Structure 1
């Protein structure tokens, strides 16, 4: 077969649109490919080619599917055509599975019908085929969802895509797609068997066209998003937009959001324009014409899910823009011509990219209101022009999620989600349209959407409605939670025990088998799923939890990561750290993508003082979830311990958890080891804390650790900033105890070491490079002065009163030769001291003697700085201080120090004379 024709067929399969340049009827493989592109999966899977591929499956039920399919396709003939036939049948199976579980409408073929053929199929049953596929789809100890429809189709496609292909470039792309879907039917994300980054090389060959290049980056990004690697996903989404030429900008335009709004305010709007041309002319007819402003998007295109109206008494259905130009349009080069209220329709692929960029906004922003406000314009831009059933469904689903937390929109949010679920099995649009952009959006499966609806009911307090959905979906963990919310935990335990003992038949299994068979449930239940039930029972029965987890581990043939995670957490909560480490190491070896397992493993290693292992565990935590502030903090703590011979034990570790689910960070500074920590480790700790504070900005404990480490490595400007943050967060509760006064004194010392005259400081720095007093040095001298002064005047002095704080401020003012401010600061310090606050009736002689020293010190300060302030009567101030102090403490007249006070008062009187 001609290489160009093969390439065109591969592109048609990838796009889901048949290329008219392909010569039809050239071979059976070409005709088969056209059937698959047109989504006639039943015809393709009943073809002679499919029968040849699946012939061994019809004859044997005992061998794994992998061996049966591998043997059946070793034929002879045209190798290119054979590979193309295998690829086409794999795509047919794969998309049939997606149609049955994601896009709808209902499928007109099932795997059992394929295996019937002309052979004797008496050994096959629908239940047996289903159970075998579900068991083989379990991966790395994570079970596949047992109620997924036609799972054998997904398993068949996996095996066929996994065969060796020598002549087809697109096979890696299809492996990416099947891996992404496989991830979504597992309980937890798992590590992938291969790296798909090599797919980017296709952009110079197979995917050299803009739309295909955009799809490559978009699909890679969606997989990274599913695995919670959102930073990489965001980069790939941006690459996708550049590939298609999509131009977009989030800006503002004057408009109204409520019905009674009188004043026009700036509203967020996403301006976007496509460069791609529609290859399918019918797509253009589905978009809404910009001038048709009064036409509802849901009614303008009848083959997309209905966009429910808000029907609110205050909010408008959509933002009403009153300006034809965006705010600051002078700065916009290419998008300033777009009218925010009448934007052009976007290419469907660009709509997919916008929805994915919207996901990235959610994943890389803090959880606050601005995130919702940022996401809404992305979604609104897509909803305004329905182009495709699946894309519009995804946009409405995202809007439903955004509106679920707002009282004025929560009703529409729930009703919209229910409407989307109801429309899935209908035939309001063609299968080909629904599948056209399926791989370019994160559309959840049917059961995931129903689960989301149940969780929405649960959040609204409608527990029984949620329970009904969870029971129908046979999501028993959620069922148990519902019974817990209904204060009926015993019912949850009874359900799990009945499932394990075979007394409870799961609904789908009963329906599919009917009354004609008495096959025990336990024969059909795969070991991975049964192990999960034992783990669930362990969660519900703490007294025997360890035995249940161990049984689950043995039952799964030592493949259940859930069993080891649970057992490790069980041991950790009871202080059995060596046993916890053993279990958790097994768990992370099976599934290394779960941060919680790595975190508890790190904490357990900390308890046994295995600093290296703890460092490695926390490093894995932050590599999986960059926004895990606690792990960054603990990683810094490990850097400060590694390389030392001994380390003192503290009452509290830098981060500890009393139970498997709890995370807390130590309230004190990181304990310094008994020997010197290498400077490189200190810098690594500093960088780790700096990174962690980006995501735990309100954690004052982390700021405290950061302040100490920053001071230790010479980053005094950062230490100053950290001290300010600590006071802002804790000053109202603990007062002056919020200030580490040693750190404050060191900051002032770092400033006052330099000459007060900037020109003199610069001259000293030019003569001695090690002096470092030049104004541009941010960590001492004039470079640090502004930060320290701001710390005092904006943060410390308005909030706190402490003698040491005022004295430190006085030293800073002394450096600036502001003598009046110096005297005022020292007097403020005296008034806060014991001498300034002593009351009549004090009986503590030791404290009184200390107070006498304080009185003498303030008088000496007045003698020193008073004459430097013109017109300041410092002697009168000094006599007043001594007279007031002696008047309050006459009970101590018999003490020897009393003579010093009277002599001090006499000296001040003589000096005045």
Structure 2
């Protein structure tokens, strides 16, 4: 279908918009109500393509088509009315969005198809496809909002889930391949939505499924390369080896009823600017099979082994062509990593560059490189390069070039960049082909990202020019406030904008005034004018920082009721709950945080804290009420331990998390988790704090569980060396290897070691532990002979050692039959008692402990 088909179709069905309806959307729904479903579907998909072409991909629609559409659809005279109808959860749409009524028409048509699908006899495949198109349209709406909206989030995932392709058994290879392609496309769309809403784990799983279905083989590996013009020695760098299922480009997905173009039609692509560096090569030159035998031998110890024969034959300097759908998967993978991994990590940056380089270097056979995929790869490369001093020039210029080639936000701003010849060289169907599988980026957002780059480089004036061209006075004011200029000028700009009339983003202007001045009355005005959620979030943060946590909870609750998808607001809400000891509020906030991002270790740790306090409060209330039911408090402690386990998994180097885990696990008698936490605490704290890394009461409990065979695999003490469980293995290592290396001040720890050695049937090791225990006890006593507790400890350890000599001395020794543990055990026992009496005679020649020593001496005669 041609670009003029939408006006023709609307005229053919006598489409008429009644102006008497309460809103323009209602008028559109009323006009579509009596049309056949096939015509409603065609109108909705054509309108979506027109909207995307006008605001995302270009080329711009002709004036003839636009005038025809306006005559038929009769949009409101003020474009802001449509913009307001597209706003959701107080998140506003860019007020200069072009032909916003087309997106309203799409949403009205697709919503009608989905809502009435149960009343039709259409096949299930068509019904699922309608839901998928509705999810796509909602993603487009989400992309033009200022922030994620909870309402759209729920609708998008509901429709995506309902539109999942159903696998059917077929003997036809062609149908089987078609099913795999459909599943790959669905997985890509699901991954795109997951990435946008920060569901990283789910996005990674969806991308893996897409790779499996498309047949893409990909591996990130290390390989030596030359990166500079004067480099004589290769250094290892990351490279992405990838290969499509077949050399020929696979049939692309159909994005709408308008696309019926030949896949292999040759089209121009955006210009890739040269690096023009005096130092760096245009692209790394990787070491290949032509290297010397010595170099190849060195590589074997550095490079990862590529097991797949196809990937092993890949030459990174001249990679094989990729199918467009596989290039799309690589771009989505790179985007997921860029938004989820640390931005300043050099390894992450190098890995991202490797993915982008693979797409740019071989997007497909000559003449079949998709325009949208290639331009997005250039854009992603430019974002990465603009952060490096060596490539910032090419990166920034490439960003500006892509903004020019993709067009500008509106006709009113076209003088800013001008329309380059290549911008219109790629037809609309080529630009729209993969638009629903890549992260959506309206053209004005590209301009805004370029402006942010200018600001980061100190080019504030250039950024202000972009804001002025886009007619964004609020951004221009914020830019002015961020620069070296006076904040007074930015405040005046915002005040003048507010005074100029009622705008769709007036509430945001009031909120930004509050952000600049820090005055709460401006945020309150923003909430009063437009229920602007960001203003309430700012108020909540302001109150929290100024010690008014209770007021912060009220403001944040209002903001979250308006838009529940702001994770930072939920986190602050939870912190305010902890601060005010409203632990139910804290639990709610941190629960929502971890539901949005399961990799937030701080939220998991704080959630555990909230659950622990809730359990303590419940226990105290039960005592007060005279109720002996600890089930609810134990439930909270179990939830706390689950949260702590997640926090420890995500942040395994924070010993405080492990300490809390040990305490909770010991209280719940979860000895597996308690042992794991104790071992990890010793690993983390012992190098600096030594013995302080050990919790003596917990070690006592663990040792008792070990020697009692409570967690054994059914064997008794007679065979402790056989069939050891994981708990026993790690506990034995803790008590016989880790603890002995750390004991410096607490003799009691040696008694724990001795108990474990006796259980292991190693009496010689147990006796050695008792002797070390006494030496340490005497050392502690000699440091302060006036301390009665230390004298008592010395006598206790002496008694334990004497009992050890008596009970263990005549047992078989380390070498077995014919050798005893201690042949002169009686002599050593008497000598031990005399030694202790000699050290305590001056201060403690009388008392209960001295009598014990005398009794021991008499018993050994």
Give TM class, smaller chain: 0.7 to 0.9
Whether 2:197 is the aligned partner of 1:238: answer no
Q: Which runs of 5+ in 1 are unaligned?
A: 1-33, 287-300, 503-520, 650-672, 765-772
Q: Equivalent residue for 2:641?
A: 686
Q: Equivalent residue for 1:95?
A: 52
Distance 1:756 1:199 in 2: 48
Residue-by-residue CA offset, 1:346-391 (whole Å, 9 max, x unaligned)? 2212211222233345567677555445444432321112312211
Q: Equivalent residue for 1:815?
A: 759
Matches within 5 A, 1:330-345: 331-332=307-308, 335=311, 338-345=314-321
Residue-by-residue CA offset, 1:614-648 (whole Å, 9 max, x unaligned)? 54443332222111223323433455466777356
Distance 2:383 2:72 in 1: 50
Whether 2:40 is the aligned partner of 1:83: answer yes
Q: Equivalent residue for 1:513?
A: none
Q: Are the equivalent residues in 1 in contact too, given 2:226–2:233 (CA < 8 A)?
A: no
Could you tell me how far 1:541 is from its partner in structure 2? 4.2
CA distance 1:709–1:333, change in 2 (3 Å) = farther
Residue-by-residue CA offset, 1:369-427 (whole Å, 9 max, x unaligned)? 55445444432321112312211122233334445555655555444434433432334
SS of structure 2 residue aligned to 1:720: helix
CA distance 1:252–1:896, change in 2 (3 Å) = same
CA distance 1:701–1:310, change in 2 (3 Å) = farther
Q: Are the equivalent residues in 1 in contact too, given 2:328–2:437 (CA < 8 A)?
A: yes
Q: Which moved more, 1:188-197 or 1:485-494?
A: 485-494
Aligned pair partner of 1:449 in 439, 442, 446: 446
Aligned pair partner of 1:49 in 6, 10, 20: 10
Q: Are the equivalent residues in 2 in contact too, given 1:161–1:175 (CA < 8 A)?
A: yes
Could you tell me how far 1:742 is from its partner in structure 2? 1.5
CA distance 1:910–1:379, change in 2 (3 Å) = same
Matches within 5 A, 1:318-717: 318-323=284-289, 331-332=307-308, 335=311, 338-361=314-337, 370-386=347-363, 387-403=369-385, 409=391, 412-425=394-407, 426-428=420-422, 429-432=425-428, 433-456=430-453, 474=472, 476=474, 480=478, 483=481, 486=484, 489-500=487-498, 502=499, 521-523=500-502, 525-526=503-504, 529-542=505-518, 544-545=519-520, 547-556=521-530, 559-573=531-545, 579-605=551-577, 614-640=586-612, 646-647=618-619, 675=630, 680-717=635-672
SS of structure 2 residue aligned to 1:444: coil
SS of structure 2 residue aligned to 1:200: coil
Residue-by-residue CA offset, 1:799-820 (whole Å, 9 max, x unaligned)? 6634244443343334335455
CA RMSD for the aligned pairs?
4.9
Distance 2:711 2:671 in 1: 19
Q: Are the equivalent residues in 1 in contact too, given 2:225–2:235 (CA < 8 A)?
A: yes
CA distance 1:144–1:757, change in 2 (3 Å) = closer
Whether 2:245 is the aligned partner of 1:274: answer yes
Q: Are the equivalent residues in 2 in contact too, given 1:612–1:638 (CA < 8 A)?
A: yes
Distance 2:436 2:612 in 1: 46
Distance 2:376 2:740 in 1: 53
Distance 2:277 2:733 in 1: 51
Aligned pair partner of 1:227 in 185, 194, 197: 197
Q: Are the equivalent residues in 1 in contact too, given 2:590–2:604 (CA < 8 A)?
A: yes
CA distance 1:328–1:583, change in 2 (3 Å) = closer
Could you tell me how far 1:222 is from its partner in structure 2? 1.2
Could you tell me how far 1:872 is from its partner in structure 2? 8.6
Residue-by-residue CA offset, 1:479-517 (whole Å, 9 max, x unaligned)? 5477357495555444433433x2xxxxxxxxxxxxxxx
Aligned pair partner of 1:216 in 149, 171, 186: 186
Q: Equivalent residue for 1:517?
A: none
Could you tell me how far 1:468 is from its partner in structure 2? 6.0
CA distance 1:399–1:699, change in 2 (3 Å) = farther
Q: Equivalent residue for 1:27?
A: none
Could you tell me how far 1:269 is from its partner in structure 2? 3.1
Aligned pair partner of 1:199 in 143, 163, 166: 163
Q: Equivalent residue for 2:147?
A: 188
User: How many aligned residue pairs are there?
Assistant: 780
CA distance 1:790–1:397, change in 2 (3 Å) = farther
Q: Equivalent residue for 2:82?
A: 133
SS of structure 2 residue aligned to 1:228: coil
Residue-by-residue CA offset, 1:203-231 (whole Å, 9 max, x unaligned)? 77999665455333322331232122233
Distance 1:461 1:894 in 2: 77
Q: Equivalent residue for 1:801?
A: 744
Residue-by-residue CA offset, 1:139-172 (whole Å, 9 max, x unaligned)? 1111112344444443443334444476775443
Q: Which moved more, 1:204-213 or 1:347-356?
A: 204-213
TM-score, normalised to structure 2, is 0.76
Q: Equivalent residue for 1:247?
A: 216
Could you tell me how far 1:745 is from its partner in structure 2? 2.0
Could you tell me how far 1:784 is from its partner in structure 2? 2.5
CA distance 1:285–1:873, change in 2 (3 Å) = farther
SS of structure 2 residue aligned to 1:304: coil
Distance 1:534 1:242 in 2: 50
Distance 1:734 1:234 in 2: 40
Q: Are the equivalent residues in 2 in contact too, given 1:255–1:323 (CA < 8 A)?
A: no
TM-score, normalised to structure 1, is 0.72
Distance 2:801 2:71 in 1: 108
CA distance 1:751–1:430, change in 2 (3 Å) = same
